[in-house]
Structure 1
Amino acid sequence: MRKLQFLLILLLTAGTLLAGCSPNEEADADGEIGGEITVWAHPFTGNGDVEGQMWEEIISAFEEEYDVTVNFEQIPWSNRDQKILTALAANNGPDVFYAIPDQMPQYADAGMLLELDPYLEDYDLDDFVDTALFATQWDGKTYGLPILQEAYTFFYNTEIVEAIGEDPANLPTTWEEFADWAEKAKEKGYYALNYLGGGSMNGTLYPWIWQAGGDVITQDNEVLINSPESVEAFEFVNNMYQKGWIPEDSITAMEQDALWDGGQIMATLGSGITLSNLLSKDVIDFVIAPPLTNREQLTYGTTGMFVVPSNSDNKATAAEFVKFMTNTESQKKFNTLTQYIPTRESAKDIFGDQEFLNQLAGYTQYALPGVIHPIGRDIMLPIQAEVQAMMAGEKSPQEAADAAAEAIKAKLGQ
């Protein structure tokens, strides 16, 4: 992350992003669609040939409809930030590229992305899931259109559910109900839940904060991680650890697969990849529950989007490609192959005959994409450190939340 920060600062202070990145440049929304564009995306499956055929079908359809040329390049996930930033700085980057929610606000805030709102004035966005569109917006402006979503929720081991005397068809929906099940699981010698304290805040603290009605930081820089609602989430996480509902290594764990696979954990927080693993192993009988509710019913789920650099030489065509790539037909092709969840309601019928994926697709309406803020990545480690100190008994939940708030303010320069 420090390398990315340094590169961003270097590019901006050196003025190498050229006039195309000036926030004062007006979008040429009425520009003529034609010519040539370059599109960058990452590999989304392990089958390059089949994936290449999917891209060929979508791109050929766009080229035929608009009489343009699309040059497609697949770039690796590793070092993607450095590759994109360096290419844009040299003014030889793509006209369209794939981005995720913690990249978008950094790039947009630095003036590196084209605002798409002028190109969407007569474009119907109602079919998109609201939480997916939220992931594409920074400072009241839209900088991308979403192609895929995930929704994380609890997968329950039905054998353990039955062992604690509960019904797999009647799963917990609230914190209170989950706590009741967690106590029963502990009494029977099971852990209630996995908790990867060494991983991303998106999969640990943040969903509890959102469900409590709290927040981390708003887009107008209001720090809310130590609000009463957010502190309630700190308290719940701490309670889970102190009561033994989650494994002993949860403070720093990066994975607890052996415990789950071994039938020692009642529930695991997972998404589509969890489903794929469970179906391929075919060892654990499971059921999937809706995201929990305290004050709000919310969870985490990333959103993938396509964006246009502000120094693209063919903005109108690039913006049109983003719209085409995220239309219903293209989303069906893309997500049928990749097995991600479409961001358009009209494309979700691709999972009509797949019970579990269809169920997960219904939960994206509750899936927040993380902290949408330029410092969203930067604040994760300081927050993680405070949560770990709390779980280790070194700080109270309030003290940990207050210290996290101070760390966020320091990143903001407040």
Structure 2
Amino acid sequence: MKRFGLLIMLLIMGSLLAACSDDEKADAPTDGKLEGEITVWAHPFTGGGEPEAKMWDEIIASYEKETGVKVKFEQIPWANRDQKVLTALAANNGPDVFYAIPDQMPQYADVGMLLELDPYLKDNDMDDFVESSLVSTKWKGKTYGLPILQEAYTFFYNKEIIEAIGEDPEKLPATWDEFEAWAKKAKEKGFYALSYQGGGSMNGTLYPYLWQAGGDILTEDNEVLINNEAGVEAFEFINDLYQNKYIPEDSITAMQHDELWDSGKIMAVLGSGISLSNLLAKDNIEFVIAPPLKNKEQVTYGTTGMFVVPSNSDNKAAAAEFVKVMTNSENQKRFNTVTQYIPTRESAKDIFDGQEYLSQLASYTQYALPGVIHPKGRTIMPFIQAEIQAMMAGEKTPKEAADAAAEAIEAELKK
């Protein structure tokens, strides 16, 4: 699979270079009338059905009416999406617009696969976007996408457990120290303080605490920061949670703790909109949602979804305009009302007015970072995870684990 991936990348580079040499002026916006047709690829965001189909019809109609350009819309599955996009673009028969997530964008942009959108955005109201939503759309100082959705992960607390430990559900922990004080009380009463899914993504385990400590993992210039003072502090925080038995015994490799949470054995879980949907559907736990924790910084994880334009699109100006129309306030309201994600434009967040919990989560996207924005962001995760697991198992100190993670990242960057 690795050789196949490399081959695809080489094919893409060849086709992109050929496209650029054929028409150097193709990347510049046109001042004339837009025309022709574009192809748009997106995924099912709700499992399909009539509401989602109607949403796309309305969004596409708004674009076609405004520009006169026809849209050929194709919904592609999430499975094998990378291979499908890469293969299509290498063969020069891919879409003009497609949906991308934060760990895809820098991979594609770094090899020249994406169109820089900055020249097309002069008339676009960029100040209306939540600042954090634009983080994942930029690489090396250039904009390659516009965001359509965000999430914000934060702690959901079991209200009954809060009361059992003698605390007030209206005065939730705001800092690491306050949370650890609650964690100690929870343990004394026979509860776990938190679900820690050590077998899952670093976005939901290490990274939020590392950012809260004022640290980072890796810069776009390949400076590895994970083992600096802030990084070690985050490793220590996680290690303390485990060694003090504030989190379940299987937290080293656990993928979920649904049974423990559902049975009222865990005080808090890190969750987002899907967690809210599940809680409301089950209706078996009375809960409250807290703002993201703060140590030196108040920050959390939250993915961002965006639309991008391949650099070998045959209709760049029309494609860029679709991305702008797709992410304007009106269409963000359409899209996120149906999908129940959080809009990335402040002016579109009023769709959640009157919805207590979604409105609360929407207010937290200002604190949400989308992960490691780097071409190697996805590939370095297993190395970091292995070191965290070794630390929790008692095989390494937090400093040793952080240093080993840094060494593994540096080795990967040299490949």
Deviation, structure 1 residue 192: 0.2
Q: What is the aligned length?
A: 413
Deviation, structure 1 residue 68: 1.1
Counterparts of 1:5 and 1:63, CA distance in 2: 36
> 2:294 corresponds to which residue?
293
Aligned residues of 2:241 and 2:247 also touching (Cα < 8 A): yes
Deviation, structure 1 residue 381: 0.3
Deviation, structure 1 residue 72: 0.2
Counterparts of 1:345 and 1:4, CA distance in 2: 42
Instruction: Say whether residues 1:219 and 2:220 are aligned partners.
Output: yes
> 1:87 corresponds to which residue?
88
Matches within 5 A, 1:7-406: 7-12=7-12, 15-20=14-19, 25=24, 27-30=27-30, 32=32, 33-406=34-407
Counterparts of 1:317 and 1:16, CA distance in 2: 21
Distance 1:159 1:99, change over 3 A: same
**Partner SS for 2:186:** helix
Deviations 1:69-110 (A, max 9, x none): 000000000000000000000000000000000000000001
**Partner SS for 1:218:** coil
Deviation, structure 1 residue 3: 6.9
Aligned residues of 2:8 and 2:90 also touching (Cα < 8 A): no
Counterparts of 2:19 and 2:156, CA distance in 1: 47
**Partner SS for 2:127:** coil
**Partner SS for 2:126:** coil
Distance 1:4 1:279, change over 3 A: farther
AA aligned to 2:238 is V
Deviation, structure 1 residue 12: 4.7
Deviations 1:211-243 (A, max 9, x none): 000000011111000010111000000000000
AA aligned to 2:317 is A
Which stretch has the larger CA shift, 31-40 or 292-301? 31-40
Aligned residues of 1:106 and 1:375 also touching (Cα < 8 A): yes
AA aligned to 1:199 is G
Distance 1:3 1:257, change over 3 A: farther
Counterparts of 2:181 and 2:343, CA distance in 1: 35
Distance 1:410 1:8, change over 3 A: farther
Aligned residues of 2:226 and 2:232 also touching (Cα < 8 A): yes
**Partner SS for 1:350:** helix
Alpha-carbon RMSD: 1.6
Counterparts of 1:31 and 1:247, CA distance in 2: 60
> 1:413 corresponds to which residue?
414
Counterparts of 2:148 and 2:7, CA distance in 1: 28
AA aligned to 1:225 is I
AA aligned to 2:11 is L
AA aligned to 2:312 is N
Deviation, structure 1 residue 353: 1.1
Deviation, structure 1 residue 246: 0.4
**Partner SS for 1:126:** helix
Counterparts of 2:228 and 2:185, CA distance in 1: 31
Deviation, structure 1 residue 9: 3.8
Deviation, structure 1 residue 29: 1.3
Counterparts of 2:24 and 2:117, CA distance in 1: 13
Distance 1:70 1:12, change over 3 A: closer
Distance 1:379 1:4, change over 3 A: farther
Deviation, structure 1 residue 6: 3.0
Q: So what's the TM-score if we normalise by structure 2?
A: 0.97
Counterparts of 2:374 and 2:15, CA distance in 1: 23
Which stretch has the larger CA shift, 324-333 or 56-65? 56-65
Deviation, structure 1 residue 290: 0.2
Aligned residues of 1:7 and 1:82 also touching (Cα < 8 A): no
Distance 1:144 1:3, change over 3 A: farther
Aligned residues of 1:4 and 1:82 also touching (Cα < 8 A): no
Gaps of 5+ in 1: none
AA aligned to 2:257 is Q
Counterparts of 1:212 and 1:397, CA distance in 2: 14
Equivalent pairs: percent with the same residue? 73
Aligned residues of 2:12 and 2:86 also touching (Cα < 8 A): no
Aligned residues of 1:300 and 1:368 also touching (Cα < 8 A): yes
Aligned residues of 2:225 and 2:231 also touching (Cα < 8 A): yes
Counterparts of 1:172 and 1:353, CA distance in 2: 25
Aligned residues of 1:342 and 1:348 also touching (Cα < 8 A): yes
Q: So what's the TM-score if we normalise by structure 1?
A: 0.97
**Partner SS for 2:297:** coil
Aligned residues of 2:159 and 2:288 also touching (Cα < 8 A): yes
Deviation, structure 1 residue 34: 1.6
Deviation, structure 1 residue 50: 1.6
Deviation, structure 1 residue 31: 5.2
Deviation, structure 1 residue 154: 0.1
